[in-house]
C-alpha cells in the first residue's frame, strides 16, 4: 500500500480559555453540593482551563458542525494543496447536532469543500482514530490522494441545568449522581483536523503514519459512558426511543451523558493489555518512542496506568509524554488531533522521531493506538 | 529477600515479557469468564441463592486440594530454587484451611456441612486438579507460578466485586460470603509475593514461556470448572 503522511494540522477552540473558577458561569449552577463535587473532580482530572462554545446565558453561535467546519477551513488554508485535490472527509464526534443526517454532511456544508466522499464516525474519543484510519486507508489504497480527518465536540450544551431539572436524575438535594456530574466537570468544546496525503509536504515537517490499531472489548464490558438511554432498575439500559414518548424519555434522564467512573478503572488493564500485545508483536518498542501522546481523561487515571505499565516493561518515561489536557481540557473525539496539532507547532519535533498515539474510549471499551514517524519536507 | 533477586538487564527484560504474557492471558480469561452461564447471571444481577450454593459446592472440591499441589510443587523444587521453595511453602500454609471458610459460607447460605464435604469434583475440577498435580510432580515445576497468577488474580480482581454483588443480589450477610471477601481483601499481598517470585524464578526465555503457558492452561481449565457446575 501507498505510504501516507499527515501534512497539515489545525484546531478550533472557541472563545477564550475558561479557568476552573469560572466554569459554573458557563455550564450553569445546579447546587452548591454539585459544585463541591465539581471541585473534587477537577482535583482528580487536573484540568486548569478549557474552552466553551456556549455563552453564560446558554446561547451559542456554534454547532459541532461549525466547530469542525472551522477546523477544516483553517486546515485547508494552511495546506500546500488546493481544496479541489481533497477527495475524502471523515468526521468524528460523540454527539452530532442532529440525529439525522451524519455529522460529515454538516461539516462538508460548513467547510467550503467541493463535492467529496464522506464518512461519519460516531462513538466517543476513539471515533477520532476511526476517522483517521478511514482517511489513511482511503489514501493508502489509492482511492484518493488527499483526505481529511476531523474530530469535534460541543459537550457544554448538554451540561446546562435545564438539561437536568425536572428529570429523574436530579436528587432531592439538587445534586446529580456521580456518573452524571463527573462529565460536567470533565468535558469541553473544540475541534481539530488532520490532512492526510500520499506524500510528505514540500515544506516543513510531516508525519508518516506507520500503523493504526483499534480494538473493541464490548464482548466483556457493558456500556459505561452513555447518552440516549435510561438505566432501568434491573441494570439494563432502555433506549430513549423505546420509552412511551420523547417527553417520557427526557423525564427519565435518557438524554443525559453518564460515565460510570469505577468502570474506567476496570478497563485500565484491558487498555494496557493492548499496549502489551503491540509490544509483543514488535509494533511498539517503548524505548524508541520519542513522543507519547496519550489521551487520558483524568490525571489520576494516568498515574494508575503508569503503575501497571512499569512492571511489564511498558513504561514510557514521563518526559516523553506530550499532553495539553491541563490547559485545553478534555475535548473527546478532537483530543488526539489537538495533541498532534500542538506537537507539530511546538517546535520540538525533529526528523526521525517516533510518535505513539493512544486513545482509550470508555463508552463500551475501545483501545486505539497509532504510530507515526516525523519526516522532513520533500521538495520533489 | 530483595537482595536475592537477580537484577541483570537480561532477567528484567524476560520478567517484563512474562508480565506482558500473563496480563494478556488474564484479559482473555476474564473476558471468556463473563460468558460462562453462572458468571453471566452474576454479572447481570440475576443470580439465585441456589446458583451461589452450587458455586460454593463445586469450588470447594477443588479448593480443598489447593495447598496440597502447592506443597507437592515445593517438594519438587531443587537446590537451585530454594528461595522459591520457601515462598511456595509459605503460600501453602496460608491457604491450606481456606476450604473451611467455604464450607461455613455454604452452611450460612442454607446448605449443610455434610453435603458439601461429601461432594465430588466436577469434570472441570478433575481436569484442573489433575493438571496441577501433574505439573507439580515434575522436577523444578517453576511454570506453576503461572497457575498461581491466574488463581491469585481471581482472588485479587474478581473475588471482592463478586462477594459484594452476591451479598446485594441475595441479601446475604458477611458470614455467607467470607471466602470470596477474604480473597478479595488479601490476594493483593499474594500478588506482590508473586512479583518477587517471578523475578527469582525467571532465568531464561524457556522458563518465562513455561510460566505463561501454564497460566493459559489453568485459565482454560478453571473456566471449564465453572462451565461444568454439578457435572460430576
What's the pLDDT tens digit per position in A28-57?
Answer: 999 888 899 999 999 988 999 999 999 999
Residues of B in contact with A309 (CB under 8 A): none
Residues of B in contact with A312 (CB under 8 A): 16, 19-20, 23
Min Cα–Cα distance to chain A from B161, Å: 11
Is the pLDDT at A307 greater than 80, yes or no? no
Residues contacting A300, CB < 8 A, separation 6+ = A44, A45, A46
A380 or B46, higher pLDDT: B46
Min Cα–Cα distance to chain B from A281, Å: 11
C-alpha A110/C-alpha A351 separation (Å) is 34
Is residue A296 situated within a structural domain?
yes
Beta strands in chain A, from DSSP E residues, in sequence order = 5-12, 18-19, 49-50, 88-93, 117-122, 146-153, 190-197, 206-216, 225-226, 229-231, 237-239, 258-259, 291-294, 354-361, 366-375
Nearest to A234 among B26, B45, B195 (CB): B45
pLDDT tens readout for residues B81-100: 999 999 899 889 988 888 99
Per domain, the residue ranges of chain B are 2-227
Is residue A267 situated within a structural domain?
yes
Report the DSSP pairing between strands A88-93 and A18-19: unpaired
C-alpha B54/C-alpha A376 separation (Å) is 66
Query: How many CB pairs below 8 Å do chains A and B form together?
Result: 43
Nearest to A235 among B15, B16, B45 (CB): B45
Indicate if A22 and A145 belong to the same structural domain: yes
Instruction: Look at residues B71, B84, B85 and name the one whose alpha carbon lies nearest to residue B136.
Output: B71
The pLDDT confidence band at residue A219, using thresholds 50, 70 and 90, is confident
Domain count, chain A: 2
Averaged pLDDT, A8-15: 98
Residues contacting A366, CB < 8 A, separation 6+ = A123, A124, A126, A214, A215, A216, A217, A218, A360
Indicate if A264 and A281 belong to the same structural domain: yes
pLDDT, residue B187, reads: 63
Is the pLDDT at B123 greater than 50, yes or no? yes
Indicate if A179 and A284 belong to the same structural domain: no
Whether the CB-CB separation of A333 and A153 falls below 8 Å is answered with: yes
A214 or A315, higher pLDDT: A214
Question: Among A197, A229, A244, where does a domain finish?
Answer: A197
Indicate if A314 and A349 belong to the same structural domain: yes
Is residue A245 situated within a structural domain?
no
Candidates 3.20.20.70, 1.10.1380.10, 3.30.420.40, 1.20.910.10; CATH matching B2-227: 1.20.910.10
The C-alpha cell at A22 is 469560572
Quote the percentage of chain A above a pLDDT of 90: 82
SS (H, E, C) B177-226: CHHHHHHHHHHHHHHHHHHHHHHHHCCCHHHHHHHHHHHHHHHHHHHHHH
Chain A positions touching chain B (beta carbons under 8 Å): 217, 219-220, 234-235, 269-270, 272-273, 276-277, 279-280, 311-314
- Domain limits for position A304: 206-221+259-375
Is residue A240 situated within a structural domain?
no
Question: For residue A317, what is the domain's CATH number?
Answer: 3.40.47.10
**3-state SS assignment for residue A361:** strand
The C-alpha cell at A6 is 499527515
Is residue A54 situated within a structural domain?
yes
For an interface test with B, give the residue of A234, A268, A270, A279 to mutate (most B CBs within 10 A).
A270
Chain-chain contact of A219 with B31 (C-beta, under 8 angstroms)? yes
Chain-chain contact of B23 with A313 (C-beta, under 8 angstroms)? no
Chain-chain contact of B23 with A269 (C-beta, under 8 angstroms)? yes
Tell me how far CA of residue A380 lies from CA of A4, A147, A201, A296, A377, in angstroms: 16, 20, 10, 39, 9
Is the pLDDT at A318 greater than 60, yes or no? yes
Is residue A254 situated within a structural domain?
no
Chain-chain contact of A235 with B13 (C-beta, under 8 angstroms)? no
Whether the CB-CB separation of A320 and A289 falls below 8 Å is answered with: yes
Nearest to A220 among B13, B23, B31 (CB): B31
Is the pLDDT at B4 greater than 80, yes or no? no
Is residue A27 situated within a structural domain?
yes
Residues of B in contact with A219 (CB under 8 A): 31, 34
The pLDDT confidence band at residue A122, using thresholds 50, 70 and 90, is very high
Is the pLDDT at B2 greater than 50, yes or no? no
Q: Tell me if the bond preceding A101 is cis, omega within 30° of 0.
A: yes
Indicate if A115 and A74 belong to the same structural domain: yes
Amino acid at each position: 500500500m501507498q505510504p501516507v503522511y499527515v501534512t497539515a494540522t489545525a484546531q478550533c477552540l472557541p472563545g477564550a480559555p475558561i479557568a476552573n473558577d469560572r466554569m459554573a458561569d458557563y455550564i450553569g449552577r445546579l447546587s452548591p453540593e454539585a459544585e463541591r463535587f465539581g471541585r473534587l473532580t477537577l482535583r482528580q482530572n487536573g484540568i486548569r482551563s478549557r474552552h466553551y462554545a456556549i455563552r453564560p446565558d446558554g446561547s451559542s453561535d456554534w454547532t459541532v458542525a461549525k466547530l469542525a467546519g472551522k477546523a477544516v477551513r483553517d486546515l485547508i488554508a494552511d495546506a500546500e494543496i488546493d481544496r479541489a485535490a481533497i477527495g475524502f472527509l471523515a468526521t468524528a464526534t460523540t454527539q452530532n447536532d442532529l440525529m439525522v443526517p451524519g455529522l460529515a454532511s454538516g461539516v462538508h456544508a460548513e467547510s467550503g469543500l467541493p463535492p467529496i466522499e464522506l464518512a461519519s464516525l460516531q462513538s466517543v474519543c476513539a471515533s477520532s482514530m476511526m476517522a483517521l484510519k478511514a482517511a489513511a486507508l482511503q489514501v493508502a489504497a489509492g482511492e484518493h490522494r488527499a483526505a481529511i480527518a476531523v474530530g469535534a465536540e460541543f459537550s457544554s450544551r448538554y451540561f446546562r441545568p435545564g438539561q437536568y431539572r425536572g428529570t429523574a436524575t436530579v436528587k432531592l438535594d439538587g445534586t446529580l449522581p456521580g456518573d452524571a456530574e463527573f462529565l460536567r466537570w470533565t468535558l469541553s468544546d473544540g475541534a481539530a483536523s488532520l490532512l492526510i496525503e500520499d506524500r510528505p509536504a514540500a515544506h516543513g515537517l510531516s508525519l508518516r503514519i506507520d500503523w493504526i490499531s483499534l480494538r473493541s472489548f464490548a464482548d466483556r464490558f457493558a456500556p459505561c459512558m452513555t447518552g440516549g438511554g435510561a438505566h432501568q432498575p434491573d441494570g439494563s439500559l432502555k433506549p430513549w426511543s423505546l420509552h412511551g414518548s420523547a417527553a417520557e424519555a427526557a423525564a427519565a434522564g435518557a438524554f443525559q451523558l453518564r460515565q460510570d467512573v469505577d468502570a474506567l478503572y476496570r478497563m485500565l488493564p484491558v487498555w494496557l493489555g493492548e499496549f502489551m500485545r503491540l509490544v509483543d508483536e514488535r509494533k511498539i518498542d517503548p524505548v524508541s518512542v520519542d513522543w507519547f501522546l496519550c489521551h487520558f481523561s483524568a490525571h489520576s487515571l494516568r498515574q494508575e496506568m503508569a503503575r501497571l505499565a512499569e512492571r511489564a516493561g511498558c513504561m514510557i518515561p514521563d518526559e516523553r509524554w506530550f499532553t495539553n489536557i491541563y490547559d485545553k481540557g478534555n475535548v473527546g473525539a478532537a483530543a488526539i488531533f489537538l495533541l498532534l496539532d500542538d506537537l507539530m507547532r511546538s517546535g520540538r519535533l525533529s526528523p526521525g522521531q517516533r510518535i505513539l498515539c493512544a486513545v482509550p474510549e470508555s463508552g463500551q471499551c475501545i483501545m486505539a493506538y497509532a504510530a507515526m514517524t516525523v519526516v522532513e519536507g520533500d521538495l520533489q | 529477600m530483595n537482595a536475592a533477586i537477580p537484577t541483570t538487564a537480561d532477567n528484567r527484560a524476560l520478567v517484563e515479557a512474562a508480565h506482558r504474557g500473563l496480563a494478556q492471558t488474564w484479559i482473555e480469561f476474564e473476558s471468556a469468564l463473563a460468558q460462562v452461564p453462572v458468571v453471566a447471571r452474576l454479572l447481570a444481577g440475576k443470580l439465585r441463592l441456589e446458583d451461589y450454593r452450587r458455586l460454593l459446592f463445586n469450588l470447594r472440591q477443588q479448593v480443598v486440594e489447593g495447598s496440597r499441589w502447592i506443597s507437592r510443587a515445593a517438594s519438587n523444587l531443587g537446590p537451585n530454587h530454594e528461595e522459591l521453595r520457601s515462598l511456595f511453602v509459605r503460600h501453602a500454609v496460608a491457604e491450606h484451611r481456606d476450604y473451611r471458610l467455604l464450607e461455613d459460607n455454604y452452611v450460612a447460605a442454607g446448605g449443610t456441612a455434610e453435603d458439601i464435604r461429601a461432594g465430588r469434583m466436577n469434570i472441570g475440577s478433575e481436569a484442573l486438579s489433575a493438571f496441577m498435580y501433574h505439573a507439580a510432580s515434575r522436577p523444578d515445576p517453576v511454570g506453576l507460578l503461572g497457575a498461581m497468577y491466574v488463581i491469585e488474580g481471581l482472588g485479587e480482581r474478581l473475588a471482592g466485586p463478586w462477594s459484594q454483588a452476591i451479598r446485594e443480589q441475595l441479601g446475604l450477610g458477611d458470614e455467607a460470603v467470607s471466602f470470596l471477601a477474604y480473597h478479595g481483601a488479601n490476594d493483593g499481598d499474594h500478588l506482590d509475593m508473586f512479583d518477587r517470585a517471578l523475578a527469582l524464578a525467571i532465568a531464561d526465555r524457556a522458563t518465562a514461556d513455561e510460566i505463561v503457558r501454564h497460566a493459559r492452561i489453568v485459565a482454560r481449565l478453571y473456566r471449564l470448572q465453572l462451565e461444568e457446575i454439578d457435572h460430576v
